[in-house]
Chains A and B, each alone.
Chain A
Amino acid sequence: MSSSKDGKRFFNTTAKKGEIHELKQELKTPDKAKKKDVVKKVIAAMTVGYDVAPLFPDVVNCMQTDDMELKKLVYLYLINYAKTQPDLTLMAVNTFVKDSLDPSPLIRALAVRTMGCIRVDKITEYLCDPLDRCLKDSDPYVRKTSAVCVAKLYDISPELVEERGFLDNLKDMISDANPMVVANSVAALSEIHSMSGKPVFELTSQTVMKLLAALNECTEWGQVFILDSLVDYSPKDSKDAESVIERIIPRLQHANCAVVLSALKVILKFLRFVSDEDFKGPMVKKLAAPLVTLLNTEPQVQYVALRNINIIIQRHKEILQNNIKVFFCKYNDPIYVKMEKLEALIKLANAENIDQLLLEFKEYSTEIDVDFVRKSVRAIGRCAVSIAESAQKCIDVLLGLIETRVNYVVQEAVIVIKDIFRKYPNKYESIISTLCENLDTLDEPEAKASMVWIIGEYADRIDNADELLETFLETFPEETSPVQLQLLTATVKLFLKKPTEKPQEMIQLVLSNATQETDNPDLRDRAYIYWRLLSTDPEAAKDVILSEKPVIADDTASLDPEMLDGLLANIGTLASVYQKLPDTFVARVRPAVQLAAGDFQAPTLDDGGAGQDPARAEQSAPVPDMPDLLGGLGDLEVSAPAPAAAAAAAPVDLMGDLLSLDVGGPAAQPAAQPPAGGSDPFGLDSLGGAPAAAPAVATQEPSLPVLLTVEKGKGLEVSGRLERRQGQVSYELSFRNATQQPLDGLMIQFNKNSFGLAPAGALQVPPIAPGASQRTSLPMSVDPQAATPAPAKPVLQVAIKCNQLGVLYLADSVNLAAVLMEDGAMQYAQFQQVWVKAPAANTQQQQLSSGGKTLEGCVQSLQGSGLFASGSGAFGAHLSGKFTLGALALVEVSAPQNGLVQVTCKSQRVDLLPLLMAHVGKALA
């Protein structure tokens, strides 16, 4: 029976129905050798995914044997099928218990090890006694196996572990004479500690000493366990930290990369406790060489090392600053290694090494892999933005690359040049002409949008800006929305800078296209805003649209310090590879925390990438298809504490009484949706058409009127406005935290009001860091229950509550356009009928300013405010509308004379008339 035949003998058995029966019979054979053969067949069938569970009793019958190999096979079978046959598994218990008393340590260990793997409740009870014995076994091999078994048991039944005092056994075993027993005990304790969420295992300086002693003697894997657990120890003082570091530093010479990385993790953490600079300096220097050597390992290991290096150099650039050459890509490096090396090079770039780097980047820009080439081109842009004195050099290289006319290189170059213009406005304009020669190569939205932005921004310096834009405008309806938005803004800029005839024609074309022929609300809303701005006050439009844009920053150090600390404590683990905190991707640990932290990775407001988009750099990173993972990078609030829990904990107080607040509501549905994002009209206006005068957050969005000042809001500034979009009322809210503490647990309630407005869901605002702002869109519903019978007032009383500041009250004036419904249009005949029938009491008349508009202009303004033209003639125009809750609004506007119009309003609700009149007045002014 030679082994080489095993494969064919066992794997060619295509197990069919009949064969189960056959195997069953064969298992009954008294011949030991044959029996083993049959069990092998069973295992082979199991391995290829065939269900051999029906053989359970027969296989278990073979368990009692002297043949070690057969025993192992049966155990393997048990591990896989015990769950399907819990009752029959009990049959095996006796043998297990007997084996755990066997004279051979190998068999004792095997019994305990296997029993721990059988995840059947009934078995676990029987496991306790053998485990108890084996934890105190005289043979270290049995003890090290039992130590791990405690963690297995804890996974199935934490109660049993605590009841039987196994945790204390484990803690005692840290003092075991055998280093492997120590290492496994520490691994088990660490796991239990993290599973339970309770402080099961706290490291004292005494335990640390024991662990350090075992460190020198245990296997490489044991060293990893010990080092990984040491990172949770906080040294008493600087001296303590120094002595631990000194004990660990020799590990950096280990051939096992995991030992090196874990040692590095501990050293980096402990160095922060060291106050003696004379100790620190030379120590940090010692870290460089081992890190560099990791780059000469297998590619998969290199990848892990590089992901970690890219974290480490965000804190300790100095470690590798002089070693940039080791990150130069080799021709045969796998793409995932190349990408990470490139990222490291970008992070290490400075004015001294930039010449060398640019040579490399240029070289990479001619490689085959498109993603890599793009990232290389982008790297040049990032260096230009981050190193001001080298910007010119970078631009020269970019121009050289544009001349290759390779399609994707040119597009990428245009995108980064846009960033460079954002960083250095009105410099380097000479390159615009080169860019303009390459317009026809651009076919990707991002590149197009960038180019259009550049043309708009420099419309006054580009002689034929109008012609260039015109060619883009030809395809306006087919463009993607980022390009459309940019075209809209660029055309407006062109018009403001060169208010000649042709731009005027263009702008009319664009505005009518963007308002009438699109169903994209972002585009339409922006077009309307421009339209209104331009028609009311062109000078103000200039101030807003052509204002100075905030300077973009370089994002190479993209992780916030807290996040970085978290990742540094996780060096070597998956968290470091994903560059995401473990809570956000690990399902097993503390599910509540995971939910909150995971869901709060809302895109921040400048996500559209006002030039430098941190997420973008990661898009091309080789950890693929994990937008949600990598989206968490950069400037996002990943480390936000769990607001759901906070909200739930908030006591029912004042606010609940006053406004009959449903406290359970917000807590029950924590953060289902990220705020802002899609519904936000200007979220995509990254390239800068938006007013820059607004506070930092609102740079990409139209500013909202302030409802509650910092003074009145105890440090919380609330801005907001009711909006109506596609038949839905929403409350656009923005919160700015001017206090010194993070604010969380925000909730909102409304008093009964004239329009029946009530929140359609809970307020979804992640915790707001001090100095930060959050913007959200609260969907509103119209509910007759929420309407007050009192005479209509255009006022909305709002109460906002947060955990730190208590309840804040504010009153907002209702934007009537938001409560006029879409189905307010009326046939002219119907209009006339209603108009004539309306009693005089339901009529109000007033002379208003036409704002210098013609009758047509007046109608247009009113149409933009929720009313619908019904009919018009030389005498004037009729418009209709319908309020939420169904009241009609009929308006007659006379032809303007001397800048005045006669306005007549009718409605079945008299109390709405003054509001309607005021609304019309505002729209016309």
Chain B
Amino acid sequence: MATSAIFILDLKGKVIIYRDYRGDVPISYADRFMEKVADLEDAGKDSPIIEDEGVTYLYLQHSNLYLLAVTKSNVNAASTVYFLHKLVDVFTKYFEQLEEESVRDNFVTVYELLDEMMDFGYPQFTEANILQEFIKTEAQKMEVTDQRKAPMAVTNAVSWRSEGIKYKKNEVFLDVVESVNLLVNANGSVVRSEIMGALKMRTYLTGMPECKLGLNDRVLLESQGKSGKGKAVDLEDMKFHQCVRLARFENDRTISFVPPDGAFDLMTYRISSHVKPLIWIECTVNKSSRSRVEYLVKARSQFKARSAATNVEISIPVASDATAPVVRASQGSADYAPEREALVWKIKNFPGGKEFLLRAKFSLPSIEADSSAAEGHGRKQPIQVKYEIPYFTVSGIQVRYLKVIEKSGYQALPWVRYITQSGEYEIRMN
């Protein structure tokens, strides 16, 4: 039913931290785990959950560490894996960088945290900002506080916020970030497009503020009979931070919450209705002779001219044995990056409604590899595109209001920013 032990290992498998919760998994299992991982990697069958002789290893790799949960029972795998990710979050908040050195430097804190975050293999409490109130690293101990009292929040219904927080200036920053996932087939048809949105908040608010967020959510507006006004969006699936009252949302789609202090992701949403690709790439490859190959790449921005994409990076896969590149771009700079087997075209500023061109020529070795052999097979990286478009959301989502009500009656200033960026933006090549 629960995790038997948590390990933190370096990449060679040496144990840095071993917290035993149930006494049925000795420290030596770390070696078995490493053997198993190595075997599976050799066989090309790696998996985040490994079973070996009745023992299950659930793990993830973060920087130069393995975080590993071991169990002999039928644990809730989703919960265990997610807990490992939460460990990463909490440790990162504590030590800024989660890596071998920071864990070694703070091993006492790590043990204290593991003791508090999990009991008898059951995840207990993973809110870093609350934990920080009673478990501190050496550096944080400078400020003297009473460590002998658990904050109320640990067991409260509001477990993510402590009472008695004070700010001179009450402010809320809200970033609406949309990532566009796009998959285009070699024939130019859009296979799949999807928007992943996130509302990232940073709150600097006094006391226990009640917040209410209004979006131009179609379901909500229609239920209120306001569908006529302005554009509404269909939010397909929303996931909320645990501070949001889910039952209330289910009931009348009101997003109401007492926010944690500081930065957190209030919600994420997904929209899978078809959107016009913001940056469209067409690439034609011409093999003029056996030893020459020419690329013609067209990049077109398909959004309004008043917006502009920044830091655009288009990566076009090129044969691994290509040499002697001759590249000319009508905008930005393009370089051949042999280590990525790609031509990387960077455009700092790409206004809407424009089209830029890139021509590239390469030499190929005159002796061609046997085309029927397997080596020529399977090297089909897609074209990948990265970009950011500030002050713009592709879905048209808008924050209609963000109300903050606190019993002391202060006025809080909400700041809202919008940005759209590329997610997994892939265009397959022939």
Task: State the CA gap A257–B185 with chains docked (Å).
Answer: 31
Counting CB contacts under 8 A, is B387 at the interface? no
C-alpha spacing A145/B122, complex, angstroms: 11
Most buried by A among B36, B101, B108, B378: B108
Task: Flag whether B262 is at the interface (Cβ < 8 A).
Answer: no
Closest to B39 in A: A625
- Decide yes or no whether A152 CB sits under 8 A from chain B: yes
From known contacts A255-B242, A624-B43, infer whether A578 and B73 are also in contact, taking CB-CB under 8 Å. Answer: no
Smallest CB separation, B256 vs chain A (Å): 13
Kindly list chain B residues whose C-beta atoms are within 8 Å of the C-beta of A106.
Answer: 134, 147-150
One of A234-242, A285-293, A504-512, A545-553 at the interface: A285-293
Are A261 and B115 interface neighbours, CB within 8 A?
A: no
Interface assignment of B47: CB less than 8 Å from any CB of chain A: yes
Chain B residues with CB below 8 A from A356, complex form: 191
B107 interfacial by beta-carbon distance below 8 Å: yes
| Chain B, Cβ-Cβ closest to A622 | B47
A264 CA / B163 CA spacing, docked (Å): 34
**Is B191 in contact with A325, judged by CB distance below 8 angstroms?**
yes
**Contact (Cβ within 8 A) A336 B237:** no
Is the CB of B275 closer than 8 A to any CB of chain A?
no
Tell yes or no: A60 within 8 A of B by CB. no
Q: How far apart sit A229 and B267, CA to CA, in the bound complex (Å)?
A: 27
- Tell me the residues in window 543-577 of chain A with beta carbons closer than 8 Å to chain B beta carbons: 570, 572-577
* Selected contact of A304 from candidates B23, B49, B240, B426, CB within 8 Å: B49
Contact of B49 among A40, A76, A139, A577 (CB under 8 A): A577
Q: Are B51 and A145 in contact (CB under 8 A)?
A: no
- Check if A262 sits within 8 Å of B378, measured CB to CB: no
Taking the closest CB of chain B, its distance from the CB of A916, in whole angstroms, is 54
Whether B237 pairs with A217 at a CB distance below 8 angstroms is: no
8 Å CB interface, A1-16 against B: 1-8, 10-11
Partner of A335, one of B24, B44, B51, B120: B44
In angstroms, Cα B15 to Cα A97, docked, is 33
Number of A-B contacts (CB under 8 A): 318
A258 within 8 A of B: yes
Check if B45 sits within 8 Å of A625, measured CB to CB: yes
The answer to whether B138 touches A47 (Cβ under 8 A) is no
Q: Which residues of A contact B380 (CB under 8 A)?
A: 366-367
On whether the beta carbons of B426 and A586 are closer than 8 Å, the reply is no
Contacts of B144 in A (CB 8 A): none
Interface hits, A603-626 → B, CB 8 Å:
622-626
Residue-wise interface mask of A (258-292) relative to B, using a CB-CB cutoff of 8 A (1 in contact, 0 not): 10111000000000000000000000000001101
Q: Mark B116-148, 1 if CB is under 8 A from A, else 0.
A: 000110111111000000100111000000011
Q: Which of B39, B149, B185 contacts A104 (CB 8 A)?
A: B149
Whether B76 and A3, one on each chain, are in contact in the complex, defined by CB atoms closer than 8 angstroms, is no
A contact residues around B27 at 8 Å (CB): 49
From A165-173, A402-410, A772-780, the one touching the partner chain is: A402-410
Could you tell me the distance in whole angstroms from the C-beta of B53 to the nearest C-beta in chain A?
A: 9
Among residues 1 to 44 in chain B, which have CB atoms less than 8 Å away from a CB atom of chain A?
A: 1-2, 14-18, 20-24, 27, 36, 39-40, 43-44
Q: Which B residues are CB-close (under 8 A) to A1?
A: 138
Interface residue stretch chosen among B77-85, B342-350, B408-416:
B77-85
Q: Shortest beta-carbon distance, A218 to chain B, in Å?
A: 8
Interface core residue of B47, B54, B191, B374 (most chain A CB under 10 Å): B47
Interface contact B43-A254, CB-CB below 8 Å: no
**Is A836 an interface residue when CB atoms closer than 8 A count as contact?**
no
Nearest opposing residue in chain A for B58, CB measure = A300
Does any Cβ of B come within 8 Å of A535's Cβ? no
By a CB distance below 8 angstroms, the chain A residues around B21 are 117
Most chain A beta-carbon neighbours within 10 Å: one of B15, B17, B149, B267:
B149
Q: Closest approach, in angstroms, between the C-beta of B42 and any C-beta of chain A?
A: 11
Residue total for B at the interface (Cβ-Cβ under 8 A)? 110
Instruction: Give the chain A neighbours of B384 by CB distance below 8 A.
Output: 331
Also in contact, A190 and B51, with CB within 8 A (given A181-B155, A258-B79, A262-B76): no
Q: B112 at interface (Cβ–Cβ under 8 A)?
A: yes
Contact among B60, B139, B150 for A3, CB-based, below 8 A: B139
Q: Contact at B51–A626, with CB atoms within 8 Å? A: yes
* Docked pose: A763 CA to B233 CA in angstroms: 68
Give 1 or 0 for each of A471-498: 1 = CB within 8 Å of chain B CB: 0000000000000000000000000000
Q: Which of A4, A113, A301, A406 contacts B82 (CB 8 A)?
A: A301
Q: Is the CB of A116 within 8 A of B378?
A: no
B43 to chain A, nearest CB (A): 7
Question: Which residues on B sit within 8 Å (CB–CB) of A40?
Answer: 108
Query: For residue B43, which residues in chain A have a CB less than 8 angstroms away from its CB?
Result: 624-625
| A367 neighbours in B (Cβ, 8 Å) | 378, 380
Kindly state whether residue B249 has any CB partner on chain A within 8 Å: yes
With the chains together, A624 CA to B43 CA distance in Å?
9
Q: Measured between alpha carbons, how far is A623 from B48 in the docked complex, in Å? A: 9
Instruction: Check if B74 sits within 8 Å of A328, measured CB to CB.
Output: no
A79→B45 contact, CB < 8 A:
no
Decide yes or no whether B50 CB sits under 8 A from chain A.
yes
Docked Cα-Cα span, A1 to B142, in Å, equals: 11
Query: In the bound complex, do residue B74 and residue A7 qualify as a contact, i.e. CB atoms below 8 Å apart?
Result: no
CB distance from A190 to the nearest CB of B (A): 7
Q: Does A868 contact B (CB under 8 A)?
A: no
A348 CB to nearest chain B CB (Å) = 15
* Inter-subunit contact B77/A576 (CB<8 Å): yes
Q: Which one of B49, B192, B380 has the greatest number of beta carbons of chain A within 10 Å?
A: B49
Chain A: number of interface residues, binned into ranges: 35 or more
Instruction: List the B side residues contacting A845 at CB < 8 Å.
Output: none
* Residues on B with beta carbons closer than 8 Å to the beta carbon of A577: 49, 77
Say yes or no: B270 contacts A574, CB within 8 Å. Answer: no
> A155 CA to B21 CA in the complex, in Å?
12
Q: Chain A nearest CB: distance from B191 CB in Å?
A: 6
Q: B371: shortest Cβ distance to chain A, in Å?
A: 9
For the complex, give the distance between the alpha carbons of A855 and B163 in Å.
106
State which of B15, B124, B377 has its C-beta within 8 Å of the C-beta of A404: B377
Cβ 8 A contact of B46, one of A10, A293, A335: A335
* A878 sits at the interface (CB 8 A): no
Nearest chain A residue, comparing its CB with the CB of B14: A48
Q: Which of A217, A303, A331, A335 has the most CB of B within 10 A?
A: A331
Residues of A within 8 A of B240 (CB): 253-255
By a CB distance below 8 angstroms, the chain B residues around A107 are 148
- Per-residue CB contact flags for chain B residues 152-166 toward chain A (1 = under 8 Å, else 0) read 001101010000000
Q: Are the C-beta atoms of B157 and A140 separated by less than 8 Å?
A: no
* A368 contacts partner chain B, Cβ-Cβ < 8 Å: yes
A194 near B: Cβ within 8 Å?
Answer: yes
As a 0/1 sequence over residues 30 to 71 of chain A, the CB contacts with chain B under 8 angstroms (1 = contact) are 000000000010011001110000000000000000001100
A68 to B141, CA, bound (A): 13
- A657 CB–B CB distance under 8 Å: no
- The one of A69, A113, A298 that contacts B108, using a Cβ cutoff of 8 Å: A69
Tell me, rounded to whole Å, the shortest Cβ–Cβ distance linking B400 to chain A: 20
- A512 to chain B minimum Cβ distance, whole angstroms, is 39
Kindly supply a per-residue 1/0 record for chain B positions 172-216, scoring 1 wherever the CB is within 8 Å of any chain A CB and 0 otherwise. 000000000101010000011010100000000000000000000
Partner of A7, one of B82, B107, B192: B107
**Choice from B45, B194, B270 contacting A622 with Cβ under 8 Å:** B45
Residues of chain B within 8 A (CB-CB) of A660 are none
Q: Is B222 among interface residues, defined by CB-CB distance under 8 A?
A: no
Would you give the shortest CB distance from B10 to chain A, in whole angstroms? Answer: 11
Does A421 count as interface, using CB distance less than 8 angstroms? no
B237 to chain A, nearest CB (A): 4
Query: Using Cβ atoms and an 8 Å threshold, which residues of chain A touch B15?
Result: 47-49
Residues 293-316 of chain A, each 1 if its beta carbon lies under 8 Å from chain B, else 0: 100101111011100100000000
Chain B CB within 8 A of A89 CB: no
Residues of chain A lying within 8 A (CB to CB) of residue B126: 219-221
13 contacts between A and B (CB under 8 A): A5-B105, A247-B247, A253-B244, A256-B82, A300-B49, A300-B60, A304-B49, A305-B78, A336-B46, A368-B378, A371-B44, A406-B377, A572-B79
9 smallest beta-carbon distances between A and B, as pairs: A3-B138, A7-B104, A289-B237, A258-B79, A250-B246, A582-B74, A300-B48, A624-B45, A250-B250
